[in-house]
């Protein structure tokens, strides 16, 4: 079990220091526009970081409110030497399901799930540090899809929970994060954890994130042609150690795994009409079930008389992605890190190990999709959506983004025992705002 650091003499790895020095200086105001107030402005006061001790421990609480669940990240940083960068000491991670968007009409109940996770922070942060530890919640695509009034009601109730907590609540501590920031900050997290941005090298890895409601692609283009042919709004620049990185990044709302299920079933247009059953060739023939997503109930089932299996299923999901996503040519020969639902579905179908992850080709997802979909008559347990999900992932990668069959995907959940995703990158930006990197 994890114990908060109490011993000032405890030494972190030199990599941790290098890692932090790099990251803290990386995400600049070119990403977060100067006229936009960031959630961590003024969070830490000088009194919180006493300079008359040899080591000072800082904590940060970051909530990731996704469409399918709410996650808490409690990061521990240690300030070894006054005026120098703190070191990443560790992370505590926990989660609850379903996500806040499932409580669209019960905002107080939704906020209670956040309150439950706050207990994790209380257990892992010494009481003496509670008042100086900021707590922040960033919601992603699940709340972006809700009517604004309902999303704001949820956020208001969460903020009320925060205000009752013993932690520091900065202005704008609860908000909906822009999808492009999600992609950029996840890319930052992955490339620092893997050491790809050590020094002045621009050899980096692209990232693919597949959530419940949205999907992100981010990479550093190597060819001028890519920069010339990329639509406006897909490129973001930032400076790092006198190098300017021009990232290709885009978030596609409505193309997350669960939103894609609704689109495949044709359910997005109808909001789950009472008594109407949505049918698909991607589902076991005799299946009759109901599914609640985003607070709406849907009836669904297999094609009782019609087709089923991979080919007709692929035609269904193809309608969702074909021609809807920009296809940068250079990614065909690149390798990417992929996480979230890419990882989960690969684990469920025994393509990779849950703990270790693994490397797959795009064609491995297609091979597994064919295997699952063409044996639907033998369906017994597990997710009835497995065929649809694997087929959608295949179509998203090949016909959506335009990846080659042979493109390598590094499937991972953690690097150096730190959870993948945007949360750590967002916390790095917190350090930048404190001027620690100067």
182 is catalytic: yes
Domains in the chain with CATH codes: 57-177 (3.30.420.40), 180-257+317-415 (3.30.420.150)
Please give the mean pLDDT across all residues of the chain.
81
Cis omega (within 30 of 0) for bond into 69 = no
pLDDT of residue 323: 95
Q: Residues within the annotated binding site?
A: 212-216
- Span 246-267, average pLDDT: 93
Does 280 score more than 50 pLDDT? yes
Asked whether the predicted pLDDT for residue 67 surpasses 70, the reply is yes
Contact (CB, 8 A) for 411 and 343:
yes
pLDDT at 245: 78
Of residues 301 and 10, more confidence is placed in 301
How much is the pLDDT for 362?
Answer: 97
pLDDT, tens digit (0-9, with 9 covering 90-100), for 179-226: 888 888 898 888 877 877 655 556 889 999 999 989 999 999 989 999
DSSP 66: -
What is the average per-residue pLDDT within 121-125? Answer: 96
Residues 428/26, Cβ–Cβ less than 8 Å: yes
pLDDT score recorded for residue 385: 94
| CB distance 89 to 5 below 8 Å | yes
Please report the pLDDT score of residue 419 as a whole number: 83
Whether the CB-CB separation of 208 and 438 falls below 8 Å is answered with no
Q: What pLDDT is attached to residue 237?
A: 84
pLDDT digits (tens, 9 = 90+) for 80-90: 776 555 677 88
β-pair type (206-210, 336-340): parallel
Rounded (10°) angle between helices 257-265 and 310-321: 110
| Least confident window among 81-85, 204-208, 228-232, 425-429 | 81-85
Which one is catalytic: 91, 159, 182, 419? 182
Could you tell me the two tokens for 110? 């939704």
């Amino acid at each position: 079990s994890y114990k908060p650091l109490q011993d000032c003499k405890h030494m972190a790895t030199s990599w941790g220091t290098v890692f932090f020095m790099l990251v803290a200086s990386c995400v600049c105001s070119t990403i977060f526009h100067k006229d936009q107030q960031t959630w961590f402005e003024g969070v830490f006061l000088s009194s919180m970081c006493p300079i008359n001790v040899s080591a000072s421990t800082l904590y940060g609480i970051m909530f990731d409110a996704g469409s399918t669940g709410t996650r808490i990240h409690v990061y521990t940083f240690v300030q070894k030497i006054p005026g120098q960068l703190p070191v990443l000491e560790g992370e505590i991670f926990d989660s609850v399901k379903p996500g806040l968007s499932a409580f669209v009409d019960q905002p107080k109940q939704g906020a209670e799930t956040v309150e439950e996770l706050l207990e994790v922070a209380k257990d892992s942060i010494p009481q003496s540090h509670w008042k100086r530890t900021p707590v922040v919640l960033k919601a992603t695509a699940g709340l972006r899809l809700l009517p604004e009034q309902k999303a704001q009601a949820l956020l208001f109730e969460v903020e009320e929970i925060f205000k009752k907590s013993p932690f520091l609540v900065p202005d704008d501590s609860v908000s909906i994060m822009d999808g492009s920031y999600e992609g950029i900050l996840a890319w930052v997290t992955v490339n620092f954890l893997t050491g790809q941005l050590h020094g002045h090298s621009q050899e980096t890895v692209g990232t693919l994130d597949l959530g419940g409601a949205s999907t992100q692609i981010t990479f550093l283009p190597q060819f001028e042609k890519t920069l010339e042919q990329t639509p406006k709004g897909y490129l973001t620049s930032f400076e790092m150690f006198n190098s300017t990185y021009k990232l290709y990044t885009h978030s596609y709302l409505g193309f997350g795994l669960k939103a894609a299920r609704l689109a495949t079933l044709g359910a997005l247009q109808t909001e789950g009409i009472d008594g109407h059953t949505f049918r698909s060739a991607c589902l076991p023939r005799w299946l009759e079930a109901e599914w609640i997503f985003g607070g709406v109930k849907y009836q669904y089932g297999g094609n009782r008389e019609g087709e089923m299996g991979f080919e007709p299923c692929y035609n269904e999901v193809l309608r969702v992605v074909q021609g809807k996503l920009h296809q940068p040519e250079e990614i065909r020969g690149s390798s990417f890190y992929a996480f979230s639902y890419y990882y989960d579905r690969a684990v469920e179908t025994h393509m990779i190990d849950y703990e270790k992850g693994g490397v797959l080709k795009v064609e491995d997802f297609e091979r597994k999709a064919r295997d699952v979909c063409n044996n639907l008559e033998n369906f017994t347990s597990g997710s009835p959506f497995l065929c649809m999900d694997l087929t959608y992932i295949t179509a998203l990668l090949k016909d959506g983004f335009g990846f080659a069959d042979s493109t390598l995907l590094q499937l991972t959940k953690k690097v150096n025992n730190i959870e993948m995703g945007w949360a750590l990158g967002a916390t790095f930006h917190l350090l930048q705002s404190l001027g620690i990197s100067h």
